[in-house]
Structure 1
Amino acid sequence: MAQTAGHPVPSRSQLKWHEAELGVVFHYDLHVFDGKKYGQGNNRITPVADYNIFNPEHLDTDQWVVAAKNAGAKFAVLTATHETGFALYQSDVNPYCLKAVKWRDGKGDIVRDFVNSCRKYGIMPGIYVGIRWNSLLGIHNFKAQGEGVFARNRQQWYKQMCEKMVEELCTRYGDLFLIWFDGGADDPEGDGPDVLPVVTKYQPDCLFYHNVQRADFRWGGSETGTVAYPCWSSFPQPYSHHKQSDSDEEHLLLLKHGDPNGKYWVPAMADTPLRGAEGRHEWFWEPGDEDAVYPLTDLMNMYRKSVGRNATLILGLTPDPSGLLPAGDSLRLKEFGDAVLERFATPLKSVKGSGNRLELKLGKETEIHSCIIQEDISKGERIRRYKVEAKVDGMWQTVCEGESVGHKRIQQFPSLKTKVVRLTVVEAVDVPDVLNFSVYGGEK
């Protein structure tokens, strides 16, 4: 973790995280094929009766990744394992994997297919490893159930198996953008496997999320696809959260906002499933959920309240039992990507520079309704308070103001006509360095 002038700055990998702005995570597991509504509590404790229900006859990871790219995603993550414990690759240490099923004669490797598709279409690949729950092996909240020597021996064996699985995933598929441990990987001094040294050794440039030792980004405190404001990238500790702090209200508030005086760079993630409308919140495909895809207006609102609040947005996508992303989901992703480009790709005017004030001269009276501000975060978050003003009838009028800027701040305000707009940094901890100050007009 580097520091400049006493405040934290991102690593090169964390800069890529910010610049990506949008990613996706594909959830796929055995219960997608049982034709039932997903019940997480039961799924965590009841093994799937017949793992040969896994049979995605038309599986096409190219189709998945193209849909993500159409949304504007720069990275994609696949659940190599989730709460059943079943692994979507050819594991030599976990027999509960694609070697065990009849699909593709036991030779399928969806992780490899997925990574190849990502590289084919210019998307950075990531892998999600679910080890907190394993219904087959009786692992509940990281812990092997039972007491005495039997349980302790199973716990130790499980920790070692997880470490070896992570080594397999880190060494077989080339460079990875991130490794994501669902709910963390827990404390290696307690119930958790010691996975950080494995990732550090074999994937030194990979983002690590997370255990009690380190998090290269943090959960933003909800699964709404939004973060609270202000949202700082700095944080008082080098990790995100752990099983003891999951329900701690004070820590939840910290996850949502960060800490402007924090010593560590741990930026926020805003995640949500695409199928989260109509009272649903589904990370996995389920029958009858076609109407639960978020409408475009909701997705654009999420974009403004995640990417536009200095966080990275991750949408959860759900391939169906045939092995394809449903057509309605793919269409909505394309609509979303097109809408973001249409709305934010072409500003009326842009400027960059150092100092406490930047001015945009529009040349003629023009209607504006929003702006984007971006700091050079390679030097840290320097801005603490700012305001944006427009000259109307010869007088400067404040149109918006705020606190944190970071990688990107998007603000809307009531439409008005002006020839000149200015950004004033009211308070900063060092000389402000603005990479981009842009204003927008036309349709909101």
Structure 2
Amino acid sequence: MKKNTLLLAGLLGFNMAMAQDIKPYGALPSKAQVAWNDMEYYMFIHFGPNTFTNKEWGHGDEDPKVFNPTHLDARQWARTAKAAGMKGIVITAKHHDGFCLWPSKYSTHTVRESAWKNGKGDVLAELSAACKEYGLKFGVYLSPWDRNHPEYGKEGYNQVFANTLNEVLSGYGPVFEQWFDGANGGNIKQPYDWNLFHSVVYKNQPNAVIFSDVGPGCRWVGNENGIAGTTNWSTLNVKGFGPGVAAPATKVLNEGNEDGEQWIPAECDVSIRPGWFYSPETNDKVKSVSSLLDIYYGSVGRNGNLILNVPVDRDGLIHPNDSTRLMELRRVLDASFKDNLAKKAVVTATNTRNGNAAVKVAHLNDGTNTTYWATGDDATTATITLTFKQSVTFNRIVLQEYIALGQRVKAFSVEVLEKGAWKEIAKETTIGHKRILRLSDYTATQVRINILDAKAAPVISEVQLYKAPGLLTTPQITRKANGQVIISSESTDPVIHYTLDGSEPTLKSPQYTSTGKEILLPQGGLVKAKAFLKGTGSETTKASFDVAPAKWTIVSAGEAAKDHDAVNAIDGDNATLYVTKDKAYPHELIVDLGETLSLKGFTYTPAGERGIIYDYEFYTSADGKSWGTPAASGQFANIKNSPVLQTVPFKARSARYIRFVAVSPADEKQVAAAIAELGVVTR
């Protein structure tokens, strides 16, 4: 192992020396950023009091004794991440509630005050040791927002946070990434001293990559779906911007800036479940393999890194549903990228730089991104051709630039030789660290990559071809307002079987067809479905429904914007929206349920990024006149960044009428409120 390490170091040193002939272009990555990009895929762990309270954003007033994971095993977390093919773990050492997963001397809201190990535990110590044991890199998330600390919002808080940060970064070994959340919410605003915070990081961990909306090490991709832009530059303009509310526009975060001031590549964050923290209600809502593959190709495959959140459960373990899904994803990825067909090809190029021993066309298919090919300085276009002795069938193309010299390619296309003529099968923009194209199956003896435009002489390290196995996608389950269940699949001609009793669907279970007997669940129920093709089954998908809005009617609503009637909020279809006109908050909606129900909560589905509601009040009434105090009120935590279904429980009460009040928006620039669906919880 030592010999191989020395050989790789020598090779990198040789390449960098020879690369001096190639003039670097634009903002460049540091060695730490290059190594960070090579990690590609690692685990996020959200863990803390919220795990036990079913909250996404705790208020800091929770009893620390609620934190008591009696079977916590950080080695299980690391073992799972390693088996999943991940390269590291980043943990929420301190979230917005201020609870510290280590016994900080700068807080009284820590594991020391918890019931776990009688206050003698230290999660960070256990996880850093486990990462070292399993060869994983260790990273930490510390939120500067602290809803517990008495100094928050006062002049001295920034130094308190700097001391806290120093405590973590000096006490637990090497840290590959420092994750900063720019959240600064609640009624108290704290001006953050980012220069101070960054200096603490670099003093203790000079090779750490700092994450925030604007880096400086890596940037937020602008959403919590894990998807980067189809055009994605690793460079970003940062002057005049900052983390949190001062961040650049979402589109800029998603795509970067061509010729941006600094090298700040995109990190794509997403959770394997609907929420970031564990909740027992989401045990059956772990993302499918097909969904995770979409995320992988939309992040790693679009010049980003993927940080996939896998929340630890109340026992202190990664739940079996999550770990099983991670292993299934690993098997598909391993099978997809097992055999690099390009290694069998003879590679040629229309232009290759002369006089530089490090530049070889043979490096394009040697299987390593530490070597490269480049054109001469006067060429910003070129064609790379792969020629095979016998036809090969492929459906994946992987391209990589040698990013140590900058990101250069603006546009490229892919062609195959078909019946003596070249056929274009793809046309895209940026490449960067890695670009993966998912294609239909193509069979050819020649494949060529056309660099159509570049900022400077293109420097490409890898061209790879693969034949990924087909994947039977999981069915999708929806329900109409009248209670009719619809099951569909993106796969071609699958046979779909379903159950309504909670059992696993098999080939002997009832078969679903769009023209067959209707499945009606007006009072709600659990549906499980599975697609089968030639005896092979997909993953099982589940959907749990409550009372359908078949009898519901709108009693009162604010004025709706054109073509966005209030009835769209209760039609059972997330694709139709109720959007109010651009008038000041609050907005309200009153609904007659058509019958008296025992209500235990309500649900709100946002309309994507449009008109997201933050503060809310929810009332119930027997007669539609007397409303009393709200059954529930508060904020939809993190909803601006993660606009997903919100479920709010409350103490059971009988009612026929409901009144939903949008008190304030998640984005102060949007004065309209929007609802995709409003529902109730009775089960």
The TM-score with structure 1 as length reference comes to 0.87
Equivalent AA in structure 2 for residue 57 of structure 1: T
Whether the 8 Å CA contact 1:29–1:84 is kept in 2: the answer is: no
Tell whether 2:256 aligns with 1:258.
yes
Q: Look up the SS of the partner of 2:92 in the other structure.
A: strand
Task: Write the deviation string for residues 97-148 of structure 1: whole angstroms up to 9, x where unpaired.
Answer: 122223223221100101111111111100110122x232368xxx62xxxx
Q: 1:337 to 1:422 in 2, by over 3 A?
A: same
Separation in 1 of the partners of 2:464 and 2:454?
20
Instruction: Kindly provide the amino acid, as one letter, of the partner of residue 221 in structure 2.
Output: G
**Secondary structure of 1:118's match?**
helix
**Helix, strand or coil at the partner of 1:305:** helix
Matched-pair contact (CA < 8 Å) for 1:374–1:437: yes
- Which residue, 28, 31, 55 being the options, matches 1:9? 28
Q: Which entry has the higher C-alpha Rg, 1 or 2?
A: 2
Distance 1:196 1:315 in 2: 25
Distance 1:241 1:339 in 2: 39
Q: CA deviation at 1:432?
A: 1.4
Tell me, in whole angstroms, the C-alpha distance in 2 between the residues paired with 1:220 and 1:239. 18
Judged with a 3 Å threshold, the aligned counterparts in structure 2 of structure 1 residues 339 and 138 are, in CA distance, closer, same or farther, namely farther
Q: Look up the equivalent residue of 2:411 and give its one-letter code.
A: R
The one-letter code sitting in structure 2 at the alignment partner of 1:325 is: I
Structure 1 residues 66 and 238, CA, compared in 2 at 3 Å: closer, same or farther? farther
- State the partner residue of 2:170: 171
C-alpha deviation, 1:200, in angstroms: 1.3
1:143-196 deviation digits (Å, cap 9, x = unpaired): 62xxxxxxxxxx12322211101111111111110111122799xx93446211
Task: Tell me, in whole angstroms, the C-alpha distance in 2 between the residues paired with 1:162 and 1:4.
Answer: 42
Deviation of the 1:413 alpha carbon: 2.4
Q: Does 1:29 align with 2:48?
A: yes
Q: Distance in 2 between matches of 1:69 and 1:199?
A: 26
Residue of structure 2 in register with 1:360 after alignment: 386
Q: Deviations over 1:242-278 (max 9, x none)?
A: 23335xxx71111011112212101001111110xxx
Q: Distance in 2 between matches of 1:102 and 1:311?
A: 40
Matches within 5 A, 1:372-391: 372-391=398-417
Q: Secondary structure at the match of 2:170?
A: helix
Distance in 1 between residues matched to 2:201 and 2:454, nearest whole Å: 36
Question: Retained in 2: the 8 A contact 1:371–1:410?
Answer: yes
Task: Assess if the C-alpha contact under 8 Å between 1:238 and 1:264 holds in 2.
Answer: no
Q: Counterparts of 1:413 and 1:90 in 2: how far apart (Å)?
A: 51
Provide Cα deviations, 1:315-372, integer angstroms capped at 9, x if missing partner.
1111111111101101111111221111123221146132322221222122222211
RMSD: 2.3
Is 1:123 equivalent to 2:121 in the alignment?
no
Does structure 1 conserve the Cα–Cα contact (< 8 Å) formed by 2:211 and 2:220?
no
1:336 maps to 2:335? no
Distance in 1 between residues matched to 2:149 and 2:324, nearest whole Å: 39
Q: Percent identity?
A: 28
Q: What does residue 202 of structure 2 align with?
A: 200
Q: 3-state SS of the aligned residue for 1:201? A: helix
> Which residue of structure 1 lines up, in the alignment, with residue 78 of structure 2?
65
State the partner residue of 2:424.
398
CA distance in 1, matches of 2:390, 2:260: 43
Q: Cα deviations across residues 203-248 of structure 1 (Å, max 9, x unaligned)?
A: 1111112487x521111011011112101101122797423335xx
- Alignment size in residue pairs: 412
The structure-2 alpha-carbon separation of the partners of 1:288 and 1:244, relative to structure 1 and needing over 3 Å to count, comes to: closer
SS at match of 2:299: coil
Q: Give 1:410-429 correspondences, 5 Å limit.
A: 410-429=436-455
Match of 1:278 in 2: none
Q: Determine if contact 2:25/2:407 at 8 Å carries over to the other structure.
A: no
Consecutive unaligned residues of structure 2, counting only runs of 5 or more, are 1-21, 344-361, 365-372, 376-381, 471-683
Q: Which residues of structure 1 form unaligned runs of 5+?
A: 145-154, 276-280
Structure 2 counterpart of 1:124, which letter? K
Residues 371 and 238 of structure 1: CA distance in aligned 2, closer, same or farther (over 3 Å)? farther
What one-letter code is carried by the residue in structure 1 that aligns with 2:148?
L
Higher deviation after alignment, 396-405 or 434-443? 434-443
1:375-402 CA distance string (max 9 Å, x none) = 1011111111111111111111111121
Give, as a single letter, the amino acid of the residue that structure 2 aligns with 1:164: N
Name the SS for the 1:108 alignment partner: coil
Quick check: 1:438 aligned with 2:464?
Answer: yes
- 2-structure distance, mates of 1:185, 1:239: 18
One-letter code aligned to 1:347:
N
Distance 2:213 2:271 in 1: 23
The structure where helix makes up a greater share of residues is 1
1:90 is aligned to 2:103? yes
Could you say if the C-alpha distance between residues 388 and 64 of structure 1 is closer, same or farther in structure 2, counting changes exceeding 3 Å? same
Answer with 415-424 or 57-66: which moved more: 415-424
In 2, are the aligned partners of 1:274 and 1:315 still within 8 Å (CA)? yes
Which residue number in structure 2 is paired with residue 268 of structure 1?
266
The answer to whether the 8 Å contact 1:233/1:265 transfers is: yes
Is residue 103 of structure 1 aligned with residue 122 of structure 2? no
- Structure 1 residues 35-50: aligned runs within 5 Å: 37-38=54-55, 40=57, 43-44=58-59, 47-48=61-62, 50=63
8 A Cα contact 2:64 2:115, kept in partner: no
- The amino acid of 1:126's aligned partner reads G
Contact 2:29–2:403 (8 Å) recurs in 1: yes
Matched residue of 2:252: which SS? helix
Q: Amino acid of the residue matched to residue 155 of structure 2?
A: Q
Q: What are the superposed Cα offsets for residues 58-102 of structure 1, whole Å, 9 maximum, x if unpaired?
A: 100011111112222112101111121110112122222122223
* Divergent runs of 4+, >3 A: 3-6, 189-193, 238-241
Q: Which residue does 2:281 correspond to in 1? A: 288
- The answer to whether the 8 Å contact 1:274/1:294 transfers is yes
Q: CA deviation at 1:4?
A: 5.4
Whole-angstrom CA distance in 1 between matches of 2:240 and 2:69: 37
Q: Which residue of 2 aligns with 1:150?
A: none
Q: 1:18 to 1:442 in 2, by over 3 A?
A: closer
Normalising by structure 2, we get a TM-score of 0.58
User: Match for 1:260: what amino acid?
Assistant: E
Counterpart CA distance in 1 for 2:75 and 2:374 is 43
Contact 1:238 1:266 survives alignment (8 Å) = no
